[in-house]
Amino acid sequence: MRYGDNRDCPPEIKEQKKYHGKMWTTVEFFKGVFPPPLKVLDVGARDGFATELLSKGGYDAVGIELVQGFVDHAKKKKRNVIFGDAMSIPFPDGTFDVIYSRHCIEHCKDTVKFFEECSRVLKPNGSVFITFPFEDREKWLSREHPGLNHMVYFENKDQFREIVKKTVFEEVLFTKSKSVGIKPDKREYCFIGKKNV
C-alpha cells in the first residue's frame, strides 16, 4: 500500500518544524476562544504536537489518531495520543468540553457522521474547533499529487454550511484562518460550532 492511504504512514516520521510552527498560532487562538481549564479532544492528532501544546496550556487534552505509526511516534514523545477513528470516537458520551481538529475532516468519507460523533462525545453546549482547506476537487485530481488522501473536497463556505445544517452545531465563527492570526496551510478556513441541543 503506497503512502497516501488514510491508514498508511510515511516510512519515517520526523518532527515537522513548519507544521509545528503553524500549530503554535492555532493553539494561541484556541486559548483566546476557549480559556483553560477544559477537557479537550484532538481528533486526527497526527504526531500529537498540538495535544502536547494544549496540555502545556492548561487543558486536560487527549488526541486520537487513525494511523498507528503516528500514535507510536507520539507515545515515544510522551504525548497523550491513542489509536482512534473519528467515525467511532473511543470515548463515552458527554466526555469533552471542546473538540479540536486540524485538517482531519477532509479525510473523513462521511462528514455528517464526523459531526455526529463529535456531538456524541461533547458535553451539552460543547463546541467544535475545526480547520480545513478549501479545494477545487477537479483541479486536485487533474494533477499528480501522490500523497493526496482527501475523501471530501470543500470548495466554499456555502457547501460546508449545507453539511453543518444537517447537524446539531450552530455556527459561531467561520473565517479564513489567517484572518484570526492562524498561520494557514493553503486555503485554510477555521470553523467554530456550538452544540445546540
| CATH number reported for the structural domain that contains residue 32 in this entry | 3.40.50.150
- Residue 3 domain-assigned (yes or no): no
Q: Which domain holds residue 171?
A: 19-195
- Residue 102 domain-assigned (yes or no): yes
- Residue 6 domain-assigned (yes or no): no
Residue 3 has pLDDT above 50, yes or no: no
pLDDT on residue 2? 32
pLDDT on residue 83? 97
- What's the predicted TM-score (pTM) here? 0.89
- Residue 13 domain-assigned (yes or no): no
The domain tally of the chain equals 1
pLDDT on residue 152? 79
Residues 51-80: pLDDT tens digits? Answer: 999 999 999 999 999 999 999 999 999 999
- By residue count, the chain amounts to 197
pLDDT on residue 73? 92
Residues 6-32, mean pLDDT to the nearest whole number: 75
- Residue 106 domain-assigned (yes or no): yes
- Residue 10 domain-assigned (yes or no): no
